Structure 1
Amino acid sequence: MSSLASGLHRLRRSPWEVVLSALVSCGLVLFSQLAVATVPRFFPSLSLLAMLPVAGLVFLAAIVVGRFWRRFIGVAASAPLFVLFNVLFMWGVYIFVIRGDTSSLLDMLINAECALLLWGLYRILSGDPGIVAYESSFLEEAGCNDFVDAICSSEKHPSLSRVRHCNSCKANVRGYDHHCPAFGNCIGQKNHRLFIALLTGFVVAESTYTMCSTKYITRCINSGTIRTENPLSLNMVIGTMLFSVLQVLWQVVFLIWHVYGICFNIKTDEWINWKKYPEFQMKEEPQSDSEIKFVNPYDKGMLCNIREFLKPK
């Protein structure tokens, strides 16, 4: 089975359902982006900084309306396709509106960044995060009712070390960090580095787009041609710029958390659900009912943790 076929198999959808989901996702992207583009149209007196929270509220309202519409027609959208179409939409605005005011070097850079994002999305959607498959006989030999029980008693079964169960994919993943709806896959031992690279790529590409769009808007203002510009095109540039800034704000926070997790060798799932895993629990006084405290047995020091993360899996 090819990597793309395995990715579609995980989504558990027929080809027709994927097509409908793609159409709904595309429509939701157009609706939300056009909604954000109305902010400079209806609030022209606001500064770009003041437009930012308004754009955030408008975008959230558009997503809520889109969710109700999806439920009404009975077709689910796809988060990875939503991300994909947002990239394509912003890339289109850049090519058809902003590109003329961009230097050749910057133009080559932003086009390369967008192309790499598309390649990265395909790789992480279709790739194996580190799924571990065990036969039912293994559970019988281990004396466990199901795989979750086996994971919780991983001290007795070294082969299950840091193998966690993903409820979204119904799969057992080694080095499981979290399930990422935006990228349509679990993040585990085999794709964690790709996830960090892709997340960093989004921050860099959206920051570059913000710089290019700001330069375009500034040129329109300084040259006095802002009133002669196509209002729809200008509003699209401002709207996508606001959208990019909003994306960068939360993505940077998310990236900082994952860098922290790498430095201290702790996964997101382990940090949130550490009370489920015995190896992270320590009692101040053994054989007593004292409060259980968190301890990370996988932390080997920052440099060793980083080297372990970068080591090919």
Structure 2
Amino acid sequence: MLGLRFPRPRRSPLEHIGSALISGSLVLFFHVALAMVPRLFLSLSLLSMLPIAALVMVVTILLGRCLRHLLGLSASAPAFVLFNILFLWGVYITKIRQAIPSLLDAIINAECALLLFGFYRIFSGDPGMVSYSSKPIESDQDDFAALNLPYEKSSSFSRIRHCNSCKTSVKGFDHHCPAFGNCIGQKNHRLFVVLLAGFIIAESSYTICSTKFITISADAQRMERIHTSSLVIGTMLFCILQVLWQLVFLIWHIYCICFNIKTEEWINWKRYPEFQLVIEHQPGSPILETRFTNPYNKGLLGNFLDFLKSKD
């Protein structure tokens, strides 16, 4: 057990408030733009609206970045995620909830509450930090030697990698997640996977409820119904697009769990000697070939057990 805890660098309260306000404004601008898609392309099917909504999302994000750069403003990716959750929950409570059965309503509200709780836990929690340093990690051996810790190559939980974003070394480092504002490491990797699956389930549930609401409201011709339907369809398009890329991301992480490999290790395996298998084609030949090998792969069952258990 390392028994070490290093707090992340803190910004001033005013900087946090300013970033949160900018992020909240971007969320409103973002969803207003998406709500215009069903208003302008009313004759199109939902499937036909998806690529248009994706284009609107990309253009809106790029436009927001350009405006922030020109005005010298900063936004917070975690605050953007948080305000998106609150915005969708607000649309559900004020607009969609009236058309949803009580049991499904309770499930949706519970999912949103759990998402907020999980988001807070992963944002504020320790991913497994062991030290702060601007020096990148070249291998497990180097990092453990620098920290005067025993190196255990056979243990999947002994791997310490460097996060360039946080300038810190993290046990079991997988990647830095800007959306959650934290590294994903040994202590929060399971929570990250569960939370990612939670987002997919909650957004799918929101899509189902939105579809039910739109079906019930299809015959209403009042102007307020038209505005509401555009908003609901816009948020539903957002949820569908989110589910599509999050599902791919979840499948990738399940794949990594099955083979006991981290995202950062897979991308940068040539930086770590333990993943390099040097092959000499002929005895005494100067021509060498370096191939990928995974010394931490213990088989499917062993890899899942390593993922499920944790050590400090």
Task: Assess if the C-alpha contact under 8 Å between 2:210 and 2:236 holds in 1.
Answer: yes
Residue matched to 1:311? 309
- Cα deviation per residue 1:39-87 (whole Å; 9 max; x = unaligned)? 0111111001100110110111111111111112212110000000000
Taking the TM superposition and a 5 Å limit, the aligned residue runs for 1:1-313 are: 10=8, 12-133=10-131, 148-149=137-138, 151=140, 153=142, 158=151, 161-221=158-218, 224-227=219-222, 229-285=224-280, 288-313=286-311
| Cα displacement (A) at 1:312 | 3.3
C-alpha distance in structure 1 between counterparts of 2:141 and 2:54, whole Å: 41
C-alpha distance in structure 2 between counterparts of 1:257 and 1:149, whole Å: 24
4+ residue segments displaced more than 3 Å: 149-157, 226-229, 286-289
- TM-score, normalisation: structure 2: 0.89
Partner amino acid, structure 2, of 1:98 = I
- TM-score, normalisation: structure 1: 0.89
Unaligned residue ranges in structure 1 (runs of 5+): 1-5, 137-144
Task: Assess if the C-alpha contact under 8 Å between 1:80 and 1:183 holds in 2.
Answer: yes
| Cα displacement (A) at 1:147 | 6.1
| Higher mean displacement: 288-297 or 51-60 | 288-297
C-alpha distance in structure 1 between counterparts of 2:14 and 2:143, whole Å: 41
C-alpha distance in structure 2 between counterparts of 1:149 and 1:291, whole Å: 20
Q: Give the fraction of aligned pairs with identical amino acids, expressed as a percent.
A: 60
Residue matched to 1:3? none
| Cα displacement (A) at 1:15 | 0.7
Tell me how many residue pairs correspond in the alignment. Answer: 296
Task: Assess if the C-alpha contact under 8 Å between 2:217 and 2:225 holds in 1.
Answer: no
| Higher mean displacement: 228-237 or 112-121 | 228-237
C-alpha distance in structure 1 between counterparts of 2:140 and 2:305, whole Å: 26
Partner SS state of residue 288, structure 2: coil
Aligned-residue CA RMSD (Å): 2.3
C-alpha distance in structure 1 between counterparts of 2:141 and 2:309, whole Å: 27
| Higher mean displacement: 20-29 or 230-239 | 230-239
- Cα deviation per residue 1:157-180 (whole Å; 9 max; x = unaligned)? 616941000000000001000000
Task: Assess if the C-alpha contact under 8 Å between 1:29 and 1:86 holds in 2.
Answer: yes
The structure in which a higher percent of residues are helix is 1
